[in-house]
Structure 1
Amino acid sequence: MALVLIRYSEIGLKSRYVRRKFEELLIADIKKALSYYGIKNKIKRTWGRIFIELNDFEKAIEPLKNVFGIVSFSPVIETEANLDEIERAAAEYAKIGSNETFAIRARRTGQHDFTSQDVAIRAGRAVENAMHARVNLTNPDKEIFIEVRDDKAFIFSEKIKGAGGMPYGSQGKVVGIVENEEDMLASWLMMRRGCIVEFACTEKMEQKIRERAMWRDVKIHFIEEEKHKFAEKLAARTGAKAIVVGGETFKKMELPVFYPLLGFQEVKK
């Protein structure tokens, strides 16, 4: 089983109550994503971090990269939070050639009888002796990260970028009018900000929406009349508080209209 450390950013700025609610939404979406791809998992949460035990990390990379709210994630090894164990684990974990340089980046959360600097020095010395590699703190060939959290320490060297944003469903509901790729991207950006999107679309865009939605159970409504009127009626029926579009400008709408692509010099399709 692989152990994966999940990081988020904006959630950590919320109050304790809101943070917990958002973490629960994030965990629920992670579970849906992994289950959708048939990946067995077990999730545990600590303050500021989420950990996942996986039976297939390589298969989990793509779904995790597409979960809104995850800023980055790393496969880690876990050991006890004492200097001797950290030193041993770091030396075993390091895969560095004798002609390469490395740096240890240590951080610590909780009460310990050692500092982050102590961790970096002891682990660095162990890796140096085991691999016969040189330390370079400014521009190393490889970085080894050690995160000590209470009674456990986690060692990793890879940070995989996630989608970022906010957990899906953490914000309000909007109607996304989707007639083309730009509209789809605009709605996707609102989903990334945590909004639930009710899609008002043409039939030709249905498959594109489902591909972007992936495991998320989105609702699709085919436009049956003039789109402005249809979007407003759909919003009233579903409780949506705003309308989202790509490039077209709407006038005299009773609801707020969001244009997430404004300011983009070029929309990548």
Structure 2
Amino acid sequence: MKLIVKVFPEITIKSRPVRKRFIRQLAKNIRNVLKDLDPELAVDGVWDNLEVVTRVEDEKVQREIIERLTCTPGITHFLQVEEYPLGDFDDIVAKCKQHFGHLLAGKHFAVRCKRGGHHDFTSMDVDRYVGSQLRQQCGAAGIELKNPEVLVRIEIRNQRLYVIHNQHNGIGGYPLGALEQTLVLMSGGFDSTVAAYQMMR
């Protein structure tokens, strides 16, 4: 299972050294949180995304990994993806059909592509071509951009293609250990607890 972790947006506007330090701290936290589930877990990336890869195939363990990441400060959301080398447009269609083809028959759908790197095409070019081919090949009812019944999401980064299965939301905030310690006084009510949680985020 491969996950692409999107960091808290406030981290991305920090200076280069601070940003790298926060990302390294988040990577360290993820390893610590998940090491009992997968001692060989791989966490890579130092700029705006982290890639988390586990070879554990037990679905129960995978669900626990996802659950723990949703509660890890510093993560806005993370994507569950399949990764492939980037081919031509027809290859992208084939990969999308492999994962979404069985969901499209008789349904209205949309294709959303995000792209990073240098290519001789745009994200809209991918959206249009992949959408038109999937509609023809999978028996879809049509394309609906505003409220699709099925959303086909892909990311292209440099020469890699990521087909996105699911998106899981995190709690945001800064990674634990990235900032100085703060003393919080708790009263008998819940206001101070909620305020402390909001500050932590």
TM tier, smaller: 0.7 to 0.9
* Residue 42 (str. 1) matches residue 47 (str. 2): no
Which of 194, 197, 200 pairs up with 1:191?
Answer: 200
Matched to 1:15, the amino acid is: S
Alpha-carbon distance between aligned partners in 1 of 2:186 and 2:178, rounded to the nearest angstrom: 22
How far apart are residue 157 of structure 1 and its match?
Answer: 4.1
Q: Which has the higher contact order (CA 8 A, sep 6+)?
A: 2
* Residue 154 (str. 1) matches residue 159 (str. 2): no
Matched to 1:178, the amino acid is: M
Alpha-carbon distance between aligned partners in 2 of 1:59 and 1:130, rounded to the nearest angstrom: 36
Q: What is the percent sequence identity of the aligned residues?
A: 27
How far apart are residue 135 of structure 1 and its match?
Answer: 1.4
Which of 124, 133, 140 pairs up with 2:148?
Answer: 140
5 Å matches for 1:104-123? 104-123=111-130
Match of 2:81 in 1: 76
* Residue 85 (str. 1) matches residue 91 (str. 2): yes
TM-score scaled by length of structure 1: 0.65
Alpha-carbon distance between aligned partners in 1 of 2:47 and 2:159, rounded to the nearest angstrom: 13
Please tell me the root mean square deviation across aligned C-alpha atoms, in Å. 1.9
How far apart are residue 148 of structure 1 and its match?
Answer: 0.7
* Residue 4 (str. 1) matches residue 12 (str. 2): no
Matched to 1:187, the amino acid is: A
Match of 2:19 in 1: 19
1:184-236: CA deviations, max 9, x gaps? 433333332xxxxxxxxxxxxxxxxxxxxxxxxxxxxxxxxxxxxxxxxxxxx
The alignment partner of 1:85 has SS state of: helix
The alignment partner of 1:163 has SS state of: strand
What runs of 5+ residues in structure 1 fail to find an aligned partner?
193-269
Match of 2:72 in 1: 67
Alpha-carbon distance between aligned partners in 2 of 1:47 and 1:86, rounded to the nearest angstrom: 26
What runs of 5+ residues in structure 2 fail to find an aligned partner?
none
Alpha-carbon distance between aligned partners in 2 of 1:4 and 1:160, rounded to the nearest angstrom: 10
How far apart are residue 91 of structure 1 and its match?
Answer: 1.0
The alignment partner of 2:185 has SS state of: strand
Alpha-carbon distance between aligned partners in 1 of 2:105 and 2:188, rounded to the nearest angstrom: 54
1:17-68: CA deviations, max 9, x gaps? 11111100111111111125x2352112164211111224322121000111
The alignment partner of 2:118 has SS state of: coil
Report the number of matched residues: 190
Compare CA radii of gyration and give the structure with the larger one.
1
Which of 162, 166, 172 pairs up with 1:164?
Answer: 172
Alpha-carbon distance between aligned partners in 1 of 2:11 and 2:43, rounded to the nearest angstrom: 18
Which of 113, 132, 136 pairs up with 1:129?
Answer: 136
Alpha-carbon distance between aligned partners in 1 of 2:70 and 2:24, rounded to the nearest angstrom: 18
Alpha-carbon distance between aligned partners in 2 of 1:6 and 1:12, rounded to the nearest angstrom: 13
How far apart are residue 179 of structure 1 and its match?
Answer: 5.2
Match of 1:227 in 2: none
Distance 1:109 1:177, change over 3 A: same
